[in-house]
Structure 1
Amino acid sequence: MSEWVNVKAADGHELSAYVAKPEGEPIGALIVVQEIFGVNASIRSVADSYAKDGFLAIAPAIFDRFERGLELTYEGEDLKKAFDLYGKLNPDTQLLDIAAAYEHVKGAGKGVAILGFCYGGLMSWVSATRAEAHKMQLDCCVGYYAGGIGKVAAEEPTCPVLLHFGAEDSHIGSDQIDAVRNAHPEVEIFLYEGAGHAFANHARTDYKAEAAKLARERSLEFLKEHVA
């Protein structure tokens, strides 16, 4: 079962969030952070899939600060709009929205995890490193192709972290991945040969089914180990 709810950030901003509920009592909560295309069908399907695995999943609409109800595709004018909006994003502001989602689900099950894709992967990382400043107690973090992570690699995560990258990602250089490895050898990092950027999104041209399946299996195992 799923529904849209409204949550309020610490600065007073109200945003919508997509909530997917499991059939029974949740084993834990999962915050799903979008790419730069809004809480579109792809992100909702991620939340729905983890709800089937027993998590109470919530996907905050971080673009509501610019335009409510925004759902973008991956080409044409939508792609241009997505990159225009990307230039307006500020992790410190988006953390307020993620913290609002956290407050909504924090009592579900044994703990709370965060998982994100692309910009959402970056936000998952900074949520893990800056959680205490936003009164979040995250049990683990999963990031898919976290663009720009190299710039914040020196920050110290407050929970276990798992990161996925395509070995052929043209958007994220190996230097960014190495920056995390060098700063945090304890962080689990998986590279997927033959996979590019957004390899886990079935709606995008970079989708690699085998890599996506393996990454999903690893993510679920990691989440259950640290949350459930």
Structure 2
Amino acid sequence: MGLWVGISKEDPKVFSGYLAMPPKGFGPGLLLLQEIWGVNGHIRDLAEQYAADGYVVLAPDMFWRQKTRVELPYDEAGTARAYEHLRAMDFAQADADLEVSIAFLSGLPFVDGGIAALGYCLGGRLAFLAASSGKIRAAVSYYGSGLGQHAAQLRSLTCPMLFHFAEQDHLIPVPEAMEWLALIPRQTPVEHFVYAGRGHGFNCPYRPAYGQGDAALAKGRTLQFLARHL
């Protein structure tokens, strides 16, 4: 089982993350980036799953500047609160927190084989920002919203990336996603998949959009991608 660890301190709040270890006790590092519902049970489950696949997984609490360890359910009230946290998020500060998280993960003695980032929804955007830092080897973005606001970083991206998009995503129309991808330099190793008939959040079994087959397919592609680049 994983545990919460301190990443860095800034009075009066503490920046922490959920750390899950692989069975062998060492492996490549994986920065697992949350949805808007925080580092909740679903994100911790994912951390355990990827740890079982051999990764040292850190899921940083990216809402810590507003409230530490936000953990919200996927019901109407939880979603309303989640969007409040999203609207209050400062992405310049989030960039700084990503750098601190990468430095923390890379400094762990049992991380062996490089570091990648993997994120969902908000976390998909954060995974791209982590890739833009030039401090990780690869990144995976599941239906990352808001990438159009980072055109300059898209144009200068050199980090290998894998994007998963949903054909019926109400937040990210596929034509818009393709416009983002067209900004990335051709020489950058980039892969993308569009999942037919699926909506935003298809990877999460606690949401109505969940699609078991495509979630399994996307995870397999993610593991293959990570194995090639770490």
- CA deviations 1:6-59 (Å, max 9, x no partner) are 111799963110000011142200000001111001111111111001100000
Counterpart residue identity of residue 145, structure 2: G
Name 1:106's counterpart in structure 2: 106
8 Å CA contact 2:13–2:68 kept in 1: the answer is no
Cα distance, 1:124 vs. partner? 0.6
Structure 1's unaligned 5+ residue stretches are none
Distance 2:115 2:66 in 1: 27
Counterpart residue identity of residue 149, structure 2: K
- CA deviations 1:84-127 (Å, max 9, x no partner) are 11111122211222222212221411100000000110011111
Deviates more, 1:81-90 or 1:189-198: 81-90
Distance 1:193 1:202 in 2: 18
Compared with structure 1, are the counterparts of its residues 65 and 151 closer, same or farther at alpha carbon in structure 2 (3 Å cutoff)?
same
Distance 2:113 2:11 in 1: 28
Matches within 5 A, 1:199-218: 199-218=202-221
Name 1:226's counterpart in structure 2: 229
8 Å CA contact 2:166–2:174 kept in 1: the answer is no
Matches within 5 A, 1:75-224: 75-107=75-107, 108-129=111-132, 131-132=133-134, 137-155=135-153, 156-184=156-184, 185=186, 186-224=189-227
Cα distance, 1:69 vs. partner? 2.3
TM-score of the superposed pair, with normalisation by structure 2: 0.91
Counterpart residue identity of residue 103, structure 1: A
8 Å CA contact 1:20–1:47 kept in 2: the answer is yes
Name 2:36's counterpart in structure 1: 36
Matches within 5 A, 1:39-54: 39-54=39-54
Distance 2:83 2:34 in 1: 14
Compared with structure 1, are the counterparts of its residues 11 and 144 closer, same or farther at alpha carbon in structure 2 (3 Å cutoff)?
farther
8 Å CA contact 1:9–1:97 kept in 2: the answer is no
Compared with structure 1, are the counterparts of its residues 146 and 6 closer, same or farther at alpha carbon in structure 2 (3 Å cutoff)?
same
Distance 1:114 1:13 in 2: 25
8 Å CA contact 2:28–2:112 kept in 1: the answer is yes
Structure 2's unaligned 5+ residue stretches are none
CA RMSD of superposed structures (Å):
1.8
TM-score of the superposed pair, with normalisation by structure 1: 0.91
- State the SS of the aligned residue for 2:64: helix
Name 1:66's counterpart in structure 2: 66
Distance 1:39 1:85 in 2: 13
Cα distance, 1:183 vs. partner? 1.4
Distance 1:37 1:109 in 2: 30
8 Å CA contact 1:22–1:54 kept in 2: the answer is yes
Distance 2:190 2:177 in 1: 11
Distance 1:147 1:115 in 2: 14
Cα distance, 1:180 vs. partner? 2.3
Distance 1:100 1:5 in 2: 13
- State the SS of the aligned residue for 2:227: helix
- CA deviations 1:137-158 (Å, max 9, x no partner) are 2010000000011222442223
**Percent sequence identity over matched residues?**
33
Counterpart residue identity of residue 207, structure 2: R
- State the SS of the aligned residue for 1:74: coil
